[in-house]
Amino acid sequence: MSAFVRGVGTSHFGKQRDTPPTRLAAIAIREALEDAGITDPSRIEAAFVGTVFGAAGGGIRALHAGGITRVPTLTLESACASGTSAFAEAVHAVRSGRYEVVLCLGVEHMTSQFGGAIHPEQTDPEGRSGLALPALYAMTASRYLAEGAVTHEQLAQVSVKNHANALANPRAQYAGSHSIAEVLSSPMIADPLTLLQCCPISDGAAAAVIAAAPSEGGVEVMSVAEGTGRPWGNGSPHVWGFDLVAETARSAYEQAGLSAADVDVLEVHDAFTIGEIVTTEALGFASVGGGGELVERGVTAKGGAHVVNPSGGLLSRGHPLGATGLAQLAEIVWQLRGQAGDRQVPGATVGLVETMGGGASGVDGNACVVALLQGKGQR
């Protein structure tokens, strides 16, 4: 059976300390319902909520704020991929005939949890070694630099591209016409990753309505795959997370009968610049070590063959963990409907969403979700 994204919605993204997560969720839910043409929230049969740091019951409260009550509700935690995981489960539930119309919600209020960056978990071996997430990504960047697989300038180019894309995204937290030199000379966070190469802390929510029946301009979910990584020290020749993304993507492409060549537009997990580069490789848009050249040649920029993070990505939007995956989904849906305004990728027909969570917890990537979506085409 098929599943369709009938409507999407998001809050603004940014540091919104005084706006409670319930309010952010209500904004996203209302927009998604409206977008789906649903005036009676009781048409929603079940809800799938992605959130990481919220209090127990926070998902339920967030749904109630959006008028969704008394439906079976799953609250899922898959680290940074929690929102995409909620989407994946919603798709499976609709495809299996369990429900006709469901809501996915991703919400996170980071500023009420963290003064600055996410602090490492003391229960993680990585956390106890001080390997917070910027440090883990920095290790990958250092290796790529040492092996000549990427240059500092190519890393910076990801930031330049994504912040420029965000100039056309009024919901992004940051945007700007940065030069490579500016990116490289911004404050060092975890060598070699500078401030402008790291996604900011953000508060926000995003929602989507998934339905079994197609609709006018509806976007079809061609496939959605989920995976978790192997334990550390698994002998892979690749940097951490690569195998997880590559294997999850392989499954998503296979299920959809599509390949990277078919994908017009992607939203991927650029929590750090090196993340986008490695991810484009793992997704098959470049060979291993070829992701830096890919961004340098403009293949992933507006006007390129495979536009990556037209929204500005996590680098611009920020990373409200549970909301991130559904914010990525919303952008791809807008793109495939030709509704992305000045961010529009002309003629976008096939889109991809990828989110990768973790890299701590003793595992080479806690969770990855890759989804392929298809619109009616505006060619």
Footprint of a copy of itself on this chain (CB under 8 A)?
A: 20, 52-53, 55-61, 64, 69-79, 85, 89, 92-93, 95-98, 121, 123-124, 226-231, 358, 360-363, 366-367
Q: Which is nearer to a copy of itself, 192 or 229 (CB)?
A: 229
CA distance 29 to 102: 12
CA distance 276 to 53: 24
- The answer to whether the beta carbons of residues 214 and 373 sit under 8 Å apart is no
Question: Known catalytic residue: 199?
Answer: no
Question: Known catalytic residue: 319?
Answer: yes
Q: Which is nearer to a copy of itself, 74 or 117 (CB)?
A: 74
Q: Which is nearer to a copy of itself, 53 or 334 (CB)?
A: 53
How buried is residue 18: exposed, middle or buried, by Cβ count under 10 Å (0-12/13-18/19+)? Answer: exposed
Least distance CB 82 / a copy of itself (angstroms): 9
CA distance 316 to 133: 18
Choose, from 12, 80, 104, 198, the residue flagged as catalytic.
80
Least distance CB 353 / a copy of itself (angstroms): 16
Q: Which is nearer to a copy of itself, 226 or 354 (CB)?
A: 226
Choose, from 109, 163, 306, 319, the residue flagged as catalytic.
319
Least distance CB 35 / a copy of itself (angstroms): 24
Residue 53 three-state SS: coil
Per the omega criterion (within 30 degrees of 0), is the bond before 192 cis?
yes
Both tokens assigned to 200: 């900011």
CA 92 from centre of chain: 19
Residue 203 phi, psi (nearest 5):
-110, 140
Least distance CB 292 / a copy of itself (angstroms): 28
Report DSSP letters for 168-213, one per residue.
G-TT-S------HHHHHHSPEEETTEEGGGBPPP-EEEEEEEEESS
Least distance CB 290 / a copy of itself (angstroms): 26
Active site residues: 80, 319
